[in-house]
Amino acid sequence: MAVAMDCVKDYEMDFTVCKEMMKDGVNLAEEKFTPCKCVPACVAKKRKLMSEDGEYDVDAFTKAVNEFGYEPWSEEYKRVFPICKDSYKGKKNCDAAAALGVCAWKNSKMLRDTVGQYMGSTDGGD
């Protein structure tokens, strides 16, 4: 959690803007969304789940989810990752993180509920 909070501070992320980013039809290229897209990439790089050149290491990502030790998250990852695995293909760094994040957001009520605890009530998805 400390790594995530460091990245939030580094990018001066505004949770209100990030909630807006998750709505259908939003242009993710808008500058205001850059911190929201880059914080997950920052965390992934610091956790060695993304290479320095911005590509996800799927094996490391899967291992990290399983090592987290919370079975419901492992099961949700196994369900959602196959749906989202192509969402970030051809993208790197912040764009890859945003593509995977938005796909996971739309396909996982568990993710929306958990993140919603930090960002307030959320829209989208189921």
The model's pTM is: 0.84
pLDDT of residue 120: 62
In this predicted structure, the answer to whether residue 5 has a pLDDT above a threshold of 50 is yes
Domains contained in the chain, number:
1
What does pLDDT average to over the chain? Answer: 90
Any domain includes 92: yes
CATH of residue 79: 1.10.238.20
pLDDT of residue 126: 44
CA distance 124 to 8: 23
pLDDT of residue 114: 87
The two structure tokens encoding residue 92: 């790197």
Percent of the chain having pLDDT more than 70? Answer: 93
Any domain includes 26: no
Task: Label residues 83-94 b or e (16+ Cβ within 10 Å = b).
Answer: ebeebbeebebb
Domain that holds residue 75: 2-13+33-118
Over residues 23-45, mean pLDDT: 94
Any domain includes 20: no
Any domain includes 41: yes
CA distance 117 to 88: 26
In this predicted structure, the answer to whether residue 125 has a pLDDT above a threshold of 50 is no
- pLDDT (tens digit per residue) in 39-86: 999 999 999 999 999 999 999 999 998 888 889 999 999 999 999 999
